[in-house]
Amino acid sequence: MSDQSRSVSRIIMGGGAASGPGQRSMQPGQPRDPNFQDVYSNQIRMSVNPTDINIIFSALIDRGPGVFAIEDRASIRIAPMVAKILLLHLQMVMECYEQVLGEVKVPPQILQLLESHRQSMLKGLQDAMAPVAGDGHAE
């Protein structure tokens, strides 16, 4: 990571010292699990159920001339309230990022794909919350 990107990271995240090879955490006094891993991702997938949201972080890997694969790197399950806080924090981070570094454009085909995923997640949640026929609940 360059000095400039570390500085931008500190500005956006509101952190103190930049993290580096010799440091264990961006925030002084905040311990890290010994198994902590720094994972790069340029692809994500999400799933949702009534109790949590799962985010799978992946990376597009070049396997040779014209051969690419998506490799899953990490999966994080979070409670809906934590997801909402993450959403608000990401909105703030992106506003700051774009104010300093310029707009990040999302291709229209990605927006269409997101809308398709929204529809299937909504249906999945509605189906999961629908009473099961014959379970004794009034309809």
- When pLDDT is cut at 50, 70 and 90, the band that residue 37 belongs to is confident
Strands, DSSP E only, in 1-139?
43-48, 53-64, 67-78
The total of other beta-carbon atoms located within 10 Å of residue 99's CB is: 10
Per-residue pLDDT tens digits for 39-87: 999 999 999 999 999 999 999 999 999 999 999 999 999 999 999 999 9
